[in-house]
Amino acid sequence: MNILLIGAPGSGKGTLSQKLSKKYNLKHLSTGDLFRAEIAEGTERGEILKEAMQKGLLAPSDILLEVMQKQLSQKEFADNVLLDGFGKTLEEAKELDRFYNIDKVIFLDVDFDTLLDRILKRRICSECGYVTTVDESRDVCGKCGGTLVNRIDDNEETFKKRYQVFLEQTMPIVDYFEKKNMLSRIDANDSIDKNFDKICKIIGGCPKELER
């Protein structure tokens, strides 16, 4: 079973992806992972991606699609894959849907206020980069004891801009898969553990035991 997970910044997509891939033995892939694989191969496309990443630019859409198609057509990614937020635009998502077999799309539906609250409480370890939530009882990293700091882009103003981009670019993808009856919408305003249970109920047993 191949799953595509979609959610706004602050929806818990990263943490839930990790938990899901562990429980269901899925290969967790983000576009960044595919780009790194392409760059490691030293191809011309890899060079273009490397340059875009270094300059902090978005990958050109045609290159992104070519790389996604090439990497996802490899045998190891044919099944039991969890795609973490693939396709930034509707066109990219449609193209992905055309060349890749997606069985289920899960949308983490979270209210604006909850997202903002989570973003403002997010802290990152200045030593090891571990991301956590602010906690009264602890002001150092639980992994290495380093100092926890605010991420520079985790402020209200930046979040509002990112959320606007999400509404304009990603919500059409949600609508597209909903019309195709491929989408499960999860109310993901609860804690990570509760949200995780809701997703597990939708996925059911281990994907390896599920016949297509």
Residues that bind Zn ion (CB under 5 A): 125, 127-128, 130, 141, 143-144, 146
Residue 165: count other Cβ atoms within 10 Å of its Cβ: 13
- Indicate the residue among 143 and 194 with the shorter CB distance to Zn ion: 143
Starting at the edge strand found earlier in the chain, the sheet holding 148-149 runs 131-133, 122-125, 148-149
Which stretches of the chain are assigned E, i.e. beta strand? Answer: 3-7, 27-30, 81-84, 104-109, 122-125, 131-133, 148-149, 183-187
- Using DSSP's 3-state secondary structure scheme, residue 189 falls into coil
Q: Please, what is the minimum distance in Å from the beta carbon of residue 129 to Zn ion? A: 7
- Indicate the residue among 143 and 161 with the shorter CB distance to Zn ion: 143
- Indicate the residue among 144 and 149 with the shorter CB distance to Zn ion: 144
Q: Please, what is the minimum distance in Å from the beta carbon of residue 120 to Zn ion? A: 20
Q: Please, what is the minimum distance in Å from the beta carbon of residue 133 to Zn ion? A: 14
- Indicate the residue among 104 and 121 with the shorter CB distance to Zn ion: 121
Are the CB atoms for 200 and 182 separated by under 8 Å? no
Q: Please, what is the minimum distance in Å from the beta carbon of residue 147 to Zn ion? A: 8
**For residue 45, how many C-alpha atoms fall within 13 Å in the half-sphere facing its CB?**
19
